[in-house]
Structures are given as C-alpha cells and as structure tokens.
Structure 1
Amino acid sequence: MRRLLLLPLALVTLTLMTATTSAAEKDARVYEMRVYYAPPGKLDALNARFKNHTLKMFEKHGLTNVGYFVPVDNKENKLVYFISAPSKAARDKALQAMGGDADWKKAVADSEKDGKLVSKIESRFLTVTEYSPLLKVEKGAEERVFELRTYTATKGNLGHLNDRFKNHTIALFAKHGMTNLIYWNVLAGEKGADDTLIYLLAHKSKEAAAKSFDAFRKDPDWLAARKASEEKGGGSLTAEKNGVVSEFLVPTDYSPLK
C-alpha cells in the first residue's frame, strides 16, 4: 500500500478496483452482524462464554468466526460480532444444530446460573460488495481501532453510493492512511437491502481516524467526486437523519480479527 500511495490517484483507483473486484467475486459468503446487549454487570460473563464455548460451537457447526468487538464507549454493554456461512440457509441450519447440542446447552446453563447474559439481540445479514477488499481475518501488525460505519442511502441512490465508493472513496481512504477492511450491502430480501451500506475501517487510533477524515474531507479529488455523484443522484446520496453512523470498536482478546 505504501507503494500505491506514491502513484497518481487514478492509478491507485485502477489498482484497487482490479484487486478488490476479483477479491470480492471470490467471497460469496453470507455474513451476519450480531449485536448482543448484556444486562448491567454481565458483559464479562458473556465475553467469557464466547471465549470458552461459543466460538468453538460455531466452528463445530460450520460457522466461521470473523471478528468480536466492544465499542470504545460502551454505554450499552454491547458485544458486536461477525460470523459467516456459505449461505443464509446454511447459517440457519448451523444455529439449529447448535441449539440442540448437549455441550452448548450445558455451557448456557452453567453461564446463566446467576441470570441471563443477554437482554436483546440485533441481527443483520450482509453480502460483500463487488468492490470490497478480500477480508483477511488476522491480527494486525500493530494495535488498531476499528470503525464500523453504516450508511443509509437516499431513495434510489444506493447504486450511486456504491459507485462512488468503488470509483473514488476507497482509494481516497487509502490515500489518507485508512485501512479498508470489508464493505457490505444488506442481503437481498432483508430490511435495508435497497438502501444500506455497512463497512469496516481500521485506524491506528481514534485520533488518527479524525486526522485522516479531516484530510479526506478537504481533498479536492473527494470534493469533485462528491459533487459529481450528487449531481447524478439528484442531491445527497445519504439520508439527512442518521445517514452516516460511525462507531469505534476494539477487538476482544478472543477475536480472530484484531
């Protein structure tokens, strides 16, 4: 990537487009983003159950562990994680089998002797965009903070939003020191499939992220790309209210992706 940054932006864009398109074509898996809300005082016990039991159970029943995180500012006692499966049907079958697994039933019963560990669960099924890099589920060379960004497109503009990311945004993110990890749209047929883009970035720190985004937003190439895309889309490509939502995450000690 350091070599890419020395190239003109047009060449950076072309190189990233070529690499990411072929990579995304190989990743036809369905990802699931799950958010667990733990009751007060129960998050440590929930993390312990995932570390000691849940990840092994997922793998046993054919699910792939991707990443497990908690928000930097975790006021809601959240655990945010990503798993993947060959298809949604495969995911459903795996969880059904896991639910009947005697080892899993015992782990749940033992962990909940003093009360339930989860008060609410949110789930979204995701598919990788054509321009997404191929996610490497591994530990980074240095400690880093992750940023989960969720975009809601204005009516009819998800295609334009994806085009802007494909042709401009991801190259500009790289130019300004951000690491593109993976980009998803919501699985067809699910709520949000026609207007939602979700992606993960990595930064050295929250401060580094702020610095990178400040430079990105002032970049003449970004300003030109945004202007052209909004002219094509008839206005802003993201909704006025909660059109862009960002949350900084840190990986748990058992997360494959760090």
Structure 2
Amino acid sequence: MKKILLFVTSMILSNLVFAQKQDTRYFEMRIYYCEPGRLPNLLTRFREHTTKIFERHGMTNIGYWVPVQNDKNALYYVLAYPSKEARETSWKNFGADLEWKSVRTESEKDGKIVSKVESIFMNATDFSPKIKEKQKNPERMFELRIYTATPNNIENVLTRFRDHTVKLFKKHGMENIAYWKSIEKDTTQSKLVYILAHKSEEAGKASFDAFRKDEKWIKVRDESEKNGKIVSKVESIYMKPTDFSTIK
C-alpha cells in the first residue's frame, strides 16, 4: 500500500511539474499576401518599424518566415499574447498608434502593399517544447506542417505525437520548434499546427524519408490506425527566416 501511495504521489507531482511548463500564452499565426512586387516593401516595414511597435504594445514576436516556393508573395509570422483579451487590446492600441499610422501612410504612398491577411489562433500543446526565442543558431530551414484530422480524431493525433512522433523526429535529426492546436470559430475540430527546423530543405526531406521507414514509427502508425486513418490532410511549407526574425 505504501509503495502504491508513493507511486501515485510521484505521478501527481510529475504531472504538476509538466503542467507548469506548458506555455499558456495565446498565439496567432498571421499570413500576409502581398500585391505583386510589394513583398520587399512589407519586409522593410516590418524590419524598420512594425516589429518594434508590436513589442511596445505588448505583443511578443516569435518568428518571421518567407516560403521557399512563394508564388503568393506571402509572409508568415507568429505572435504571442498573455491572453485573448490582451490580444484584442494590443491590436486596438496598435491600430491607433500615431507612429504606425505615419509608417503605413508613408510605405503605401506608391500603392497598397498587402492584399489579404489570414490568421490562425492557437494554444500550445502540452508536449510543445519551450520556444527558444532570439536564438543565435546558424540559419536553418524551417518547415510549417498543418495536420487536419479525420472526424473526431484530433485527440488521437495529439496522443500519437505526444507519446511517439516528437521523439522519433528528434531521433532522425529534426528539431522540434513548437506545436500548437488551432482554435476554430465554429464546430470544426482543431488542427495540429507545428514547426520543425532542418539544416536545409534537402536535410528535412532526407529526415522524413528515414522517419517513414523507421520500424518503430511503422508499428506506432499501424497501431494508432487500427480503426482507420486519423489524419486526412497534411500541409507542408518550407520557409526561410527573415533577417529580422527572432528565431533563425
């Protein structure tokens, strides 16, 4: 009985420590699609002004990336806020900021820069590593991956990642940067959104080839899909960090 109590106590303490490590911030991935030829103007505006104004209004710059195959002239970036409510206040104050108004007007004197903006709101998963902001690593290639689960299977996808996939990625030379669960407006189930880092695009593809052939992964995949597929769609985008990204 004493051994059982000690075991239960140990598990509770372990879970408490694990819970304390979870990032409870409110995250937003923003995707800006630029007018033809205007992406350099957007990058200049972010580099010289926008990121600093964001910080002044309580937003944390996590990272900024440009897709390798960028036919849509896009910029992807992630911000963090203390809460959803803080996010609303920060953006309200940002929009009213006199410096921002002046910068926007000056930067758009030759025409509109951004044609469309998309947002993905997210919470960190309980297995996401601590985001190492302002890293001084040699520049890496990043990969954004978004998983759409089959109906009612997002928790099974998360369990597979938590218990197995994240460790296998590391085994095959992939660096786990962050894992999030999207927050959907309607009854649509959440998606898994995550970012990996590789030495290069070629290294990333080689790592995934080795991962898919790994006998442990094959066993895990087959066991998790014994009642049917749990992932219906996988999106992958290789991205380069901008020169002003906090993560490179």
TM normalised by structure 2 equals 0.90
Q: Which residue of 2 aligns with 1:251?
A: 241
Amino acid at match of 2:61: N
Tell whether the 8 Å contact from 2:141 to 2:200 is kept in structure 1 after alignment: yes
Match of 1:220 among 215, 223, 242: 215
Tell whether the 8 Å contact from 1:23 to 1:134 is kept in structure 2 after alignment: no
Q: Alpha-carbon deviation of 1:25?
A: 3.8
Q: Alpha-carbon deviation of 1:41?
A: 1.0
Pairwise CA RMSD of aligned residues?
1.7
> Quick check: 1:236 aligned with 2:226?
no
* Separation of aligned partners in 2, 1:124 and 1:131: 19
Q: Which residue of 1 aligns with 2:28?
A: 32
Q: Which residue of 1 aligns with 2:3?
A: none
Deviations 1:150-186 (A, max 9, x none): 0000001001000000000000000000000100001
Amino acid at match of 2:56: K
Stretches of structure 2 lacking an aligned partner (at least 5 in a row)? 1-13
| Matched length | 234
* Separation of aligned partners in 2, 1:142 and 1:244: 28
Q: Which residue of 2 aligns with 1:45?
A: 41
* Separation of aligned partners in 2, 1:95 and 1:51: 18
Q: Which residue of 2 aligns with 1:117?
A: 113
Return the index of the structure with the highest Cα Rg: 2
> Quick check: 1:82 aligned with 2:72?
no
Q: Which residue of 2 aligns with 1:6?
A: none
Q: Judging changes above 3 Å, is the alpha-carbon distance between structure 1 residues 193 and 62 closer, same or farther for their aligned structure 2 residues?
A: farther
Q: Judging changes above 3 Å, is the alpha-carbon distance between structure 1 residues 110 and 77 closer, same or farther for their aligned structure 2 residues?
A: same
Match of 1:104 among 100, 107, 114: 100
Q: Which residue of 2 aligns with 1:15?
A: none
Tell whether the 8 Å contact from 2:60 to 2:81 is kept in structure 1 after alignment: yes
* Separation of aligned partners in 2, 1:193 and 1:132: 22
Amino acid at match of 2:242: T
Deviations 1:76-113 (A, max 9, x none): 10000000101111111101011111111000000000
Q: Alpha-carbon deviation of 1:193?
A: 6.2
Tell whether the 8 Å contact from 1:24 to 1:130 is kept in structure 2 after alignment: no
Tell whether the 8 Å contact from 2:22 to 2:124 is kept in structure 1 after alignment: no
Tell whether the 8 Å contact from 1:185 to 1:193 is kept in structure 2 after alignment: no
SS for the counterpart of 1:119 is strand
Q: Alpha-carbon deviation of 1:138?
A: 2.4
* Separation of aligned partners in 2, 1:91 and 1:61: 9
Match of 2:167 among 152, 160, 171: 171
Q: Alpha-carbon deviation of 1:57?
A: 0.8
Q: Alpha-carbon deviation of 1:120?
A: 0.3
* Separation of aligned partners in 2, 1:42 and 1:107: 15
Matches within 5 A, 1:136-155: 136-155=132-151
Q: Alpha-carbon deviation of 1:190?
A: 2.8
Q: Which residue of 1 aligns with 2:185?
A: 190
Q: Alpha-carbon deviation of 1:73?
A: 1.0
Amino acid at match of 1:179: E
* Separation of aligned partners in 2, 1:124 and 1:192: 15
Q: Which residue of 1 aligns with 2:200?
A: 205
Tell whether the 8 Å contact from 1:156 to 1:195 is kept in structure 2 after alignment: no
TM normalised by structure 1 equals 0.87
Deviates more, 1:24-33 or 1:73-82: 24-33
Q: Which residue of 1 aligns with 2:9?
A: none
* Separation of aligned partners in 1, 2:118 and 2:151: 24
> Quick check: 1:72 aligned with 2:68?
yes
Stretches of structure 1 lacking an aligned partner (at least 5 in a row)? 1-17
